[in-house]
Amino acid sequence: MHLDHLVTSKQLTRTDIETVLDRAAEIDADPSSVADRYTDTVLGLLFFEPSTRTKMSFDTAMKRLGGDIVDMGSVESSSVKKGETLADTVRVIEGYADALVLRHPQQGSAQMASEFVDVPLVNAGDGAGHHPTQTLLDLYTIRENASLEDLTIGVMGDLKYGRTVHSLAHALTNFDADQHFISPESLQLPREVVYDLHQEQEGAQIREHDSLEEILPELDVLYVTRIQRERFPDENEYQKVAGEYQIGPDHLEAASDDLTIMHPLPRVDEIAPSIDETDHAAYFEQAHNGVPVRMALLDLLLSGDGGDDDE
């Protein structure tokens, strides 16, 4: 794998993805093998909007590799408030760090920033744009709990606004997965995403449903996402829709014994707590997988010849 920066999962070929997942599996199996690998390495965290989970996960990943982090802190306390451009900010901070992780509310910001720095930069979410490490940890979780070969996956909830869902769907076309999208009509996948998926997939199914029942028994994986209250002008309408796209113990009777349930978290009511203790529940494991997957990615970026890095 030759990567200078990771801006979008679309950069990644199937082979690239498998390289990251294989490395993550090695690290997961024997974390001590890399625990002192990057003792002199400092990772710069630039989070221009809050994200506890992603930030803690990168932070932990770097520390589990023996390295350390420097954190820009919140935008309120930063030079951004004084009118500094993102290009200037990243060029200053690359002088402190051996690699950068950037989250920024503006779509395209990670691509732009990556053009100004010589150290590896990882996009940790750029608004409505991309969040490739989320996709990688989702793929890793699917591979560990089911298989990326001959996969039948259902994705349920808010499919219209879900960056996570779009990225995962695109990535899964590399593996010819059968993909089923379950949502209320108002939260369906955007038409252009459906069109792209049909273009990208070869021989696999891309289908949309308005109810889980008809497709649940066929699924290897059910990926649930949160339906956000603020998408609905009317509270009653929200309650009605949200209630239909929740999963509880009753549903499991119709599901395969091997069904894996995933969720990018945080959840609110989409998955009943009683499911947590069943073998179906993979969402906490999914969150935990952020660490080995990000360790693997950082390892591959830091150990490779990181492009025209002049340090």
Which residue ranges make up the annotated binding site?
Answer: 53-54, 82, 103, 131, 134, 163, 226, 265-266
Q: Is 281 helix (H, G, I), strand (E, B) or coil?
A: strand
Kindly state whether residue 93 participates in binding a copy of itself, applying the rule CB under 8 A: yes
- Binding site residues for carbamoyl phosphate, as ranges? 53-54, 103, 131, 134, 265-266
Kindly state whether residue 37 participates in binding a copy of itself, applying the rule CB under 8 A: no
First and final CA of the chain: distance in angstroms?
Answer: 21
Burial class (CB in 10 A: 0-12, 13-18, 19+), 243: exposed
Comparing CB distances to a copy of itself, the nearer of 18 and 28 is: 28
Q: From residue 138 to residue 177, what is the string marking binding to a copy of itself with x (rule CB under 8 A)?
A: ----------------------------------------
Kindly state whether residue 63 participates in binding a copy of itself, applying the rule CB under 8 A: yes
| Binds a copy of itself (CB under 8 A): choice among 30, 71, 150, 218 | 71
Kindly state whether residue 92 participates in binding a copy of itself, applying the rule CB under 8 A: yes
Catalytic residue among 54, 89, 164, 173: 54
How far apart are CB 266 and a copy of itself at their closest, in Å? 4
Residue 86 to residue 112: CA distance in whole angstroms: 9
β-strands 206-209, 221-224 pairing = unpaired
Residue 189 to residue 88: CA distance in whole angstroms: 37
Percent helix, percent strand, percent coil in the chain, to nearest 5: 45, 15, 40
**Residue recorded with tokens 């969040």:** 131
Q: Is 223 helix (H, G, I), strand (E, B) or coil?
A: strand
Q: Name 234's Cβ contacts closer than 8 Å, sequence gap at least 6.
A: none
Kindly state whether residue 79 participates in binding a copy of itself, applying the rule CB under 8 A: yes
Binding site for a copy of itself (CB under 8 A): 31-32, 35-36, 39-40, 42, 44, 50-53, 55-57, 59-60, 63-64, 68, 70-74, 76-79, 82-84, 87-89, 91-93, 95-97, 226, 265-268, 273, 284-285, 287-288, 290-291
The set of catalytic residues is 53-54, 82, 103, 131
